[in-house]
Amino acid sequence: MAEELNPFKEAQEQLDEAAEIMGLDRTAHAILREPKRQVIVNIPVKMRDGSVKVFNGFRVVYNDARGPGKGGIRFHPKESLDTVKALAAWMTWKCSLANIPFGGGKGGVICDTKSMNATEIENLSRGYIRAIRKFIGPKIDVPAPDVYTNPQIMAWMLDEYEEMVGHDEPGVITGKPVELGGSAGRYDSTAMGGMYVLREAAKMLKLDLKKTKIAIQGFGNAGQFAFQIAKDMAGANVVAITDSEGGVYSPKGLDYKKLNEAKTKSGSVSEYEGKGAQKITNEELFDLDVDVIIPAAIENVITKKNADKVRARMVLELANGPVTPEADRILFERGILDMPDFLVNSGGVIVSYFEWVQDIDGYYWSESDVYKKLDTIITRSFNDVFKTQAEYKARKKKISPRMAAYIVAVSRVATAMKARGWY
């Protein structure tokens, strides 16, 4: 259902708007409109039938003025360089907004892992790392998992990198298994961070989370953990959820165990069986009478075509780029609080930063320590955004939370570039 848009043009449009509002130096703006480094690679992989298939891959570092590149690796049949460039840009702003010492990076390979066996995926993972080895490192660019990649794939990539350099280097990749230097709390960190943002935003809107109705689009890693944490930590009532095949709505709330059973049995949560439950489409989810909508799947699902139908008081962007620039403006004009993705879903990169620090120091923290530190950083980011929005309001400039977040993030990167003498 996602509207077909060029994600990199969208990222540039968001930057352009922020640059105009904040009066960004023209040279700094020109530097920040394009990635610093783009790597395109071809990866030959021996397949199960004995043939060799060549896969196309990418790795982009958008900006490293504030530190090494940081960003995930996606294995997806529709991966593109423009998507990777856009995601690397958003990672730049995400790391800057969180005020952690990273720039933004992203990687991807065009492939369909659903049609590949474990050996083929391992061979592809190792081949990708061999292809980009000269461009990554703990102080250069630090990859992590993303769409259709996971801790096991990171373990293969780490092993391949260490075989090539001839020594242990756990800080080169994050999102690894704990046994190989991964961090406690990393697996659910994106959703956990999002729930801390939900808590702070609910205070601002004077929403009682125990009486709050939530609809979630997406039943992957982020969506599933968001469902569980929203209920267990906040006491909220999740009344609707969808996946790529559709979904289910029940005004009295949904049961996670039954949802998981439906997904396992049929491949979709739409086959959920519960009293009073009714099937819905992904499009219908955004029109439900709920308090909070959490897009937790793909980009461009709330657009100018459906933004005027949203009835929720808040949109919590757990996915990357789920709301288009036009839709963001419509929601803002309608008084709906749209919490931007690079604040809401920054928990993943924040805990990746913790993992990197722990790997370098060789000293590892408990899960409770990780969550406490995550809460501190993401709450600080939340406050930075709304402090900036209030400052512009006092100057008679009405800006959305997204633009406030951009202004905070872009100004920090521009200041770092200025200090380095880049302009």
Residues recognised as catalytic: 106
127: left (phi over 0), alpha (psi -120 to 50) or beta: alpha
Residues 73 and 143 sit within 8 Å (Cβ to Cβ) = yes
With contact defined as beta carbons under 8 Å apart, do 23 and 412 qualify?
no
Distances (CA, A) of 147 to 218, 258, 298: 13, 25, 10
Question: CA 315 → CA 34, 47, 114, 216, 401, distances in Å?
Answer: 29, 43, 31, 10, 12
Q: Evaluate whether 250 touches 231 at the Cβ level (below 8 Å).
A: no
Helix 401-420 crosses helix 7-22 at what angle (to 10 degrees)? 80
Question: How far apart (Å, rounded) are the C-alpha atoms in residues 231 and 386?
Answer: 26
Q: To the nearest 10°, the Cα dihedral for 102, 200, 344, 137?
A: 20
Instruction: Give the DSSP H/E element, type plus range, for residue 189.
Output: helix 189-205
- Taken in order 210, 215, 220, 223, is the CA torsion positive or negative? negative
319 secondary structure, DSSP code? S
Question: What single-letter amino acid sits at 195?
Answer: M
* Placement of tokens 């009293």 in the chain: 275
List the structure tokens of 332: 């803002």
CA 154 → CA 74, 88, 160, 188, distances in Å?
A: 11, 19, 10, 16
SS3 content of the chain, % helix, strand, coil (to 5): 50, 15, 30
Estimate to the nearest angstrom the gap between the alpha carbon of 403 and the chain centroid.
18
Chain-centre distance for alpha carbon 245? 22
For 223, the 3-state DSSP assignment is helix
> Which among 27, 28, 29 is positioned nearest to 12, based on CA atoms?
29
